Homo-oligomer: A and B are copies of this chain.
């Protein structure tokens, strides 16, 4: 990588880390959209725009998703709703999830385990600060992180290439502390070592 020295990169990274440490922690849940908050407003707006109707199913879905933490899959949604006494068909869930994506209330986060995709996940993003994911390749644990420095660089790259950036998806895959430590214990100490990796 010409033009870069290990030193300059390290300095860059360190300064970014230092700065990022001063960030506020992520809001643990969405505080702005529960009963009749912003999410509802946003959704109603989209419905009005398309001449859509606010059905009971949509109300239930929206309320439920807003209360949900972390990512979820369409099928899980149906099960959970049924548990709470709401009967909504999988079809309807699918149809409305894409609406909610359009409205910017949820987003699709494709889980990439490197071999198979298995099915889409969604997560509630409205009112959450923007974030990306760290995923453990052993246990599947997902950790959210937010890192403005990376966002800024992404924007810069896009501009370099004449692109106007709309969104990005970033997923870091590795071994989480728990799984790594388990390794270390099993092999009798030493640093955790990741298998495979980019050539």
Q: How many residues of A contact B (CB 8 A)?
A: 76
Q: A104-B196, A199-B126 are in contact. Are A162 and B176 (CB under 8 A)?
A: yes
Could you say which residues of chain B place their CB within 8 Å of the CB of A149? 4, 9, 12, 153
CB contacts (< 8 Å) of A47 on chain B: these are none
The answer to whether the Cβ of A20 comes within 8 Å of any Cβ in the partner chain is yes
Q: Do A3 and B15 form a contact, CB below 8 Å, given A163-B174, A171-B169?
A: no
With a cutoff of 8 Å between Cβ atoms, the chain B residues found around residue A195 in the complex are: 166
Nearest Cβ on chain B to A81's Cβ, whole angstroms = 22
A161 within 8 A of B: yes
Q: How far is the CB of A172 from chain B (nearest CB, A)?
A: 5
Contacts of A176 in B (CB 8 A): 161-163
One of B8, B136, B150, B175 near A150 (C-beta < 8 A): B150
Neighbouring B residues of A177 by C-beta, 8 Å: 161-163
Min distance, Cβ A106 to any Cβ of chain B, angstroms: 11
A54 within 8 A of B: no
A-B CB proximity, top 7 nearest: A3-B22, A162-B177, A163-B174, A165-B174, A13-B156, A164-B194, A164-B175
Q: Which of B114, B120, B180 interacts with A164 by CB under 8 Å? A: B180
Main secondary structure of the interface of A (DSSP, over half): mixed
B9 touches A21 (CB 8 A): no
Cβ–Cβ < 8 Å partners of A164 in chain B:
174-175, 180, 192-194
Can you list 6 A-B pairs with a CB-CB distance of less than 8 A?
Answer: A4-B23, A98-B115, A130-B198, A157-B172, A165-B174, A169-B169
> A8 contacts which chain B residues (CB < 8 A)?
19
Contact residues, A22-63 vs B (CB, 8 A): 22-24
**A150→B9 CA distance, assembly (Å):** 10
A190 within 8 A of B: no
**A109 to chain B: closest residue by CB:** B112
The answer to whether A173 and B162 touch across the interface, beta carbons within 8 angstroms, is no
